[in-house]
């Protein structure tokens, strides 16, 4: 079951990499179209970011729990989902409060929206860490005990 978990972490990492690739479709499309406009290429980024990555995170978390990989790894597996929630309900909401709309941007809104990329990089970092840790589980690597735990010996 741990091999299945490893497979899910790899698929999740690939989805996050695809998410980064797809953002360029919207960033470099000319003439620039607003999200949701007919034929807007940024919509592919939105679909993967709002649907595919969270779904894969949930499935990876379920598989992690079934595979009994440990509470910390199960918690880390749900982190991409939580970060997508932060993107949708914190970053974008704060940008709107700062005056950013689909038709007009503000300095405050752009400052807040800069965190969209930072949270995205965090999702990528978590996805990569999950693959590394899942691979170690499959290979049977035993984590090294912290130095503080051996102090009493």
Average pLDDT over residues 127-139: 95
Q: Can you spell out the DSSP letters for the chain?
A: -HHHHHHHHHHHHHHHHHHHHHHHHHHH-SS---TTSTT-THHHHHHIIIIIHHHHHHHHHHHHHHHT--HHHHHHHHHHHHHHHHIIIIIHHHHHHTT--SS---HHHHHHHHHHHHHHHHHHHHHHHHHHHHHHHHHTPPPPPPGGGGTT-
Residue from 82, 57, 53 nearest 5 by CA: 57
Identify the residue with better confidence: 8 or 24.
8
Name the average pLDDT for the chain: 90
Can you give the residue range of the structural domain that contains 49?
2-141
Rg for the chain, CA atoms, rounded: 19
> Across the chain, which distance is largest between two alpha carbons, in Å?
68
Q: What is the pLDDT of residue 25?
A: 85
Residue at 150 is within a domain: no
pTM listed for this prediction: 0.85
Euclidean distance between CA atoms 43 and 36, whole angstroms: 6
Q: What is the pLDDT of residue 35?
A: 84
Residue at 78 is within a domain: yes
Q: What is the pLDDT of residue 144?
A: 42
Average pLDDT over residues 142-152: 50
pLDDT in tens, 10-65: 999 999 999 999 999 888 888 888 888 888 899 999 999 999 999 999 999 999 99
Residue at 151 is within a domain: no
Residue at 47 is within a domain: yes
Residue 143 has pLDDT above 60, yes or no: no
The total of structural domains in the chain comes to: 1
Euclidean distance between CA atoms 116 and 58, whole angstroms: 21
Residue at 122 is within a domain: yes
């Amino acid at each position: 079951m741990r091999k299945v978990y490893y497979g899910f972490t790899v698929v999740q990492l690939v989805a996050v990499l695809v998410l980064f690739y797809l953002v360029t479709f919207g960033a470099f499309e000319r003439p620039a179209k607003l999200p949701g406009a007919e034929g807007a290429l940024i919509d592919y980024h939105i679909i993967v970011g709002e649907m595919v990555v969270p779904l894969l995170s949930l499935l990876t978390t379920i598989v992690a729990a079934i595979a009994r990989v440990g509470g910390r790894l199960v918690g880390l597996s749900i982190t991409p989902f939580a970060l997508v929630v932060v993107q949708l309900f914190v970053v974008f909401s704060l940008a709107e409060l700062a005056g950013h709309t689909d038709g007009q941007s503000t300095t405050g809104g752009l400052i807040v929206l800069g965190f969209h990329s930072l949270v995205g990089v965090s999702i990528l970092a978590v996805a990569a860490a999950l693959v590394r840790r899942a691979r170690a589980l499959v290979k049977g690597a035993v984590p090294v005990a912290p130095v503080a735990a051996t102090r009493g010996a």
